[in-house]
A and B are shown apart, each in its own frame.
Chain A
Amino acid sequence: MRNPLSQKVTSIAPSGIRKFFDVVSEMPDAISLGVGEPDFDTPWRIREEGIYSLERGKTFYTSNAGLKELKIEICKYLDRKVNVQYDYNSEVIVTVGGSEGIDIALRAMLDPGDEVLIPQPSYVSYLPCTVLADGVPVPIPLQEKNEFKLTAEELEAAITPKTKILVMPFPNNPTGSIMTREDLEPVVEVVKKHDLFVISDEIYSELTYGEKHVSIASFEGMKERTILINGFSKGFAMTGWRLGYACGPKEIISQMVKIHQYAIMCAPTNSQYAAVEALRNCDEEVQEMVEAYNQRRRFLVHEFKRMGLKCFEPFGAFYIFPSIQEFGMTSEEFATRFLQEEKVAVVPGSAFGDCGEGFLRISYAYSIEDLKVALERFERFIMRLRSEK
């Protein structure tokens, strides 16, 4: 029999997180700091709206690019939150999570051999999605001393004549790093100078602490060259609803709609109705969640500092990214031993790119009570490691 598989697909390494997940699932009594989704239930008024849409028999396809009402609300929301103005009719597509937006943006923009710059550590799907779209992924290793922000120098150094797209993953999973307006300015200059396009993954935009999120699309001349990706999973605690969106120039969005229409048809109808309510009436609920995350963030920063663990203060998403280099083992070894000895799951930093080696991703999408139990075990574990040395 012939090989049924595509070489392109088999060449892609399985996610490092997946590997770890398989180990954890063998340990039913393990607790976790490894989750990349909110611990909050979707606010009730959003769920109620989803239920109501079912009662009204909203069980059919919507138009390919999404429900008109929702697209209008998305435009109002982006205007209000990041001060970027989109035309709902031609510059917005509603997708199955932010993930689909990333996938179809890359597929709509890449020709074979085009290079995509991917700052790392970052979310696990940019690289394989680039490969699947026949692009060439070029990781940019970010540095702890810059708090894992992208600098203009790092960007400039990675650019070749084949570079077409820069992925901007901020607020960042796994580091919790954010890019302020001042941080973005020099990057924007380089992007314009080299005529690059940007896929800006802003799925954690609601979750910043202190400074409000700034979209790279809000800089002059950047809306024309940016696909802004966002969604409902993180800010509105709606992971399972699978709903996101992409906004950008008409000519790119219309090609993305074409792929989406052939591959997906449309995003789930009930999720779209529920999301209208999320954007219209849930500022308060979101604010409450942000306050809770912020308290946990302060708690973790304080605790790690007390334990003498090297860690920069993150201001976005719900992750903290401490260094474990002092223990002289790889992130994976550390995470595996921690799981075996203390039954707590954390994700090795290396799952998010080679430069994540030496770090751990700790999620604070947990109650303070849960965090306390896990941190007690963490402290016991590192004390043991220190005494072994």
Chain B
Amino acid sequence: MRKQILKYIEKKSKVDLGELAVLLGTDEVTVANEIAAMENEKIICGYHTLIDWDKAGVESVSALIEVRVTPQRNQGFDRIAERIYNYPEVNAVYLISGGYDLLVTLEGKTLKEISLFVSEKLSPIEAVVGTATHFIMKKYKDHGTILVKKSGSERMLVTP
């Protein structure tokens, strides 16, 4: 039941409890209780809205920044990560295997704003030994949702 609820609200967090109960073949109270319990247990960590800012006419720039760092004694990467993720403009910070250490994703209003963040906030951190900033030019798919919509259904209206 939990997995089914999660799979549903992962795509559609604007949930009508009564409807979800019908779809899953259970009752509203069960669904509400499960959701509340999962919120408490921090299985459900938040409800977000997927927005195509371009369409909304709001200028914004997203970037992925590869960060190479020197891990610190006793604290590994966690301390550095914390110094980075506490900036509100930072969307996500991941520890990555391979050619670099941290992947930071960032939203800014302009290219300049992001450049300033890298040069004035990120690079000066002592443990940071190098960065590479990639600006996102177009989002095709985000959070499992395809943003570049295809045309409507090809099906005929009535078939046997």
Please list the residues of chain A having a beta carbon within 8 angstroms of any beta carbon in chain B. Answer: 15, 17, 20-21, 24-25, 30, 32, 34-37, 39, 123-125, 173, 291, 294-296, 298-299, 302, 345, 347, 351, 368
* Cα-based distance from A294 to B8 in the complex (angstroms): 13
Min CB distance, B149 to chain A, in Å? 13
Interface segment among B22-30, B47-55, B81-89, B109-117: the answer is: B22-30
Q: Is the CB of B25 within 8 A of A298?
A: yes
**Contact flags B60-92 to A (C-beta < 8 A → 1, else 0):** 000000000000000000000000000000000
Q: Is the CB of A35 within 8 A of B158?
A: yes
* Cα-based distance from A302 to B158 in the complex (angstroms): 24
* 7 A-B pairs with least C-beta separation: A295-B23, A34-B158, A32-B157, A21-B158, A36-B159, A302-B22, A24-B157
Min CB distance, A319 to chain B, in Å? 11
**Which residue of A has the minimal Cβ distance to B8?**
A295
Q: Which chain B positions have C-beta within 8 A of A368?
A: 19, 23
Q: Is the CB of A299 within 8 A of B157?
A: no
**Which residue of B has the minimal Cβ distance to A31?**
B157
* Contact among A124, A173, A345 with B157 in the assembled complex (CB-CB below 8 Å): A345
Residue B144 interfacial (CB < 8 Å) = no
Q: Which chain A positions have C-beta within 8 A of B156?
A: 21, 35
Q: Mind listing 14 A-B residue pairs with CB under 8 Å?
A: A17-B159, A17-B160, A21-B157, A21-B158, A21-B159, A32-B158, A35-B157, A35-B158, A36-B159, A39-B155, A123-B160, A291-B4, A298-B25, A347-B158
Q: Which chain B positions have C-beta within 8 A of A296?
A: 23
Q: Which chain B positions have C-beta within 8 A of A24?
A: 157-158
Q: Is the CB of B157 within 8 A of A30?
A: yes
Min CB distance, A171 to chain B, in Å? 15
* Contact among A21, A37, A295, A302 with B155 in the assembled complex (CB-CB below 8 Å): A37
Residue B153 interfacial (CB < 8 Å) = yes
* Cα-based distance from A173 to B159 in the complex (angstroms): 12
Q: Which chain B positions have C-beta within 8 A of A25?
A: 157
Besides A17-B158, A35-B158, A302-B22, 17 other CB < 8 A contacts?
A15-B160, A20-B158, A21-B158, A24-B158, A30-B157, A32-B157, A32-B158, A34-B158, A35-B156, A35-B157, A36-B160, A37-B159, A294-B25, A295-B23, A299-B22, A351-B160, A368-B23
Min CB distance, B30 to chain A, in Å? 14
- Residue of B153, B156, B159 contacting most chain A CB atoms (<10 Å): B159
Q: Which chain A positions have C-beta within 8 A of B4?
A: 291
Q: Which chain B positions have C-beta within 8 A of A30?
A: 157
Q: Which chain B positions have C-beta within 8 A of A15?
A: 160
Please list the residues of chain B having a beta carbon within 8 angstroms of any beta carbon in chain A. Answer: 4, 19, 22-25, 153, 155-160
Min CB distance, A47 to chain B, in Å? 13
* Cα-based distance from A125 to B159 in the complex (angstroms): 13
**Which residue of A has the minimal Cβ distance to B12?**
A368
Q: Which chain A positions have C-beta within 8 A of B24?
A: 295, 298
**Which residue of A has the minimal Cβ distance to B18?**
A302
* Cα-based distance from A338 to B23 in the complex (angstroms): 26
Q: Which chain B positions have C-beta within 8 A of A298?
A: 22-25
Q: Which chain B positions have C-beta within 8 A of A299?
A: 19, 22-23
Min CB distance, A371 to chain B, in Å? 11
Min CB distance, B11 to chain A, in Å? 11
* Contact among B23, B158, B160 with A345 in the assembled complex (CB-CB below 8 Å): B158
Min CB distance, A58 to chain B, in Å? 25
* Cα-based distance from A20 to B155 in the complex (angstroms): 16
**Which residue of B has the minimal Cβ distance to A123?**
B160
Q: Which chain A positions have C-beta within 8 A of B158?
A: 17, 20-21, 24, 32, 34-35, 345, 347
* Contact among A21, A36, A39, A302 with B153 in the assembled complex (CB-CB below 8 Å): A39
* Cα-based distance from A2 to B12 in the complex (angstroms): 65
Q: Which chain B positions have C-beta within 8 A of A124?
A: 160
* Cα-based distance from A36 to B159 in the complex (angstroms): 5
Min CB distance, B48 to chain A, in Å? 20
Q: Which chain A positions have C-beta within 8 A of B157?
A: 21, 24-25, 30, 32, 34-35, 345
Min CB distance, A388 to chain B, in Å? 26
* Contact among A34, A291, A294, A302 with B159 in the assembled complex (CB-CB below 8 Å): A34
